[in-house]
Structure formats: structure tokens, C-alpha cells
Amino acid sequence: CFVGLFNKGVNALAFNHRLNISWNFGCDVSAVVERIWQLGLCCSSLCVLQRLESIASLRQAHSTYTDRRRRVCFDIAVGLGIPFLQIPLFFVVQPYRLDVVEDLGCSAPIYNSVPALFVYYFWRLFVSVLCSIYAALILRWFILRRLQFSAALSSQHSGLSQKKYFRLFALAL
């Protein structure tokens, strides 16, 4: 999220009341960052919700070193791998190099077509549907095991209280 918003801020400052491009490579990088940061934000939310669901279902009582390493590898693959996989796919549906808008900066155009639906838009929809499924599962587990939930959080010595858990859940949504 920080990278995407920082990118928008730099673009707004660099193209304040002007349209000339002084550094083409910077505009290319900025356009790619603009296209992948939203998917990266959805994927990171998916990773957090997946972890919260495993906590709420009480499946994650004790974890070994290999389990933790596997979870970290999964989080990296989903949080970084899926957005970076979209970079080469994006060039398939990009009709030309850049759009430059005064006061907003560089952006990469998308040709709205059937391939663009599958290459660009489908990923966001798919990850958002997965996030909503995990959110529904979290609420289901909490309703089913309301009494066991607070006892399980305190027994794991993680410093995660019920109030902090729901704050994290709300932020992940």
C-alpha cells in the first residue's frame, strides 16, 4: 500500500501543472507499480485473512518450525508472486506505452477487451472472492466457538487478545 501511494504522490509532484516526460524509464516503472499495487494489497489481505481463519478454527494450536516456514513461503508466494506474475501478462493487453495526465502523472493504459478480463481484471475479482470466503469462515468459526476462542488466544501466549484479533480482522477486510 505504501509503495502505491508513494508512487501516486511522486507522480502528482513530478507532473504538477506540466506534461513533459523527462525520465521515460521512471514513467514505465511508475505505470507498472500503479497496476500491481492494488492486486498486491488484495493478496496481502488474503494472507492475513487466511492466517486469522487458521487461528479462529483452532487448527493452529502448536506449530513447528517447518509449518511456520511453509506459511511464510506461502505468504510470499501469494503476496508477491501473484502481483509480479501479472507484470508480463499486463503487456499483452496494453495498447500503447503510457498515458500522461497533467497533475496525476504516468499511467499504463488497458485495452478493455476479453483478454483484459482474464489477464487483468479476473485476478482482482478472484482474490476478492477468496477474501470474502475467508471472512465468512472467520465469522462462522467465531460464532460456533465463542467461548473457546478467548481461552485459545490467551493460552497461545501470543499477546493477541480478542479485541486485537477483531481489529486485525477489520483491517484485513
Q: Residue 96 gets which letter from DSSP? A: S
pLDDT at 155: 65
Residue 3 reports pLDDT greater than 70? yes
Average pLDDT, integer, range 101-124: 84
Say which residues have a Cβ less than 8 Å from residue 130's Cβ, sequence separation at least 6.
46
Q: What is the pTM of this model?
A: 0.79
Average pLDDT, integer, range 116-127: 90
Quote the crossing angle between the two packed helices 2-14 and 24-56, to the nearest 10°. Answer: 160
What are residue 47's phi and psi, to 5 degrees?
-65, -45
* 3 alpha carbon, distance to own chain's centre: 12
Most confidently predicted of 15-19, 95-99, 152-156, 169-173: 95-99
pLDDT at 77: 94
Please state, in angstroms and as integers, the Cα–Cα distance from residue 98 to each residue in 34, 104, 119, 137, following that order.
12, 13, 18, 41
Quote the crossing angle between the two packed helices 82-90 and 24-56, to the nearest 10°. Answer: 140
Q: Report the C-alpha gap between 149 and 61 in whole angstroms.
A: 11
Under the banding of pLDDT at 50, 70 and 90, the label for residue 158 is low
**pLDDT tens string 49-73:** 998 888 888 776 567 889 889 999 9
Q: Report the C-alpha gap between 10 and 133 in whole angstroms.
A: 36
Average pLDDT, integer, range 155-168: 70
Residues facing residue 101 across a β-bridge: 105
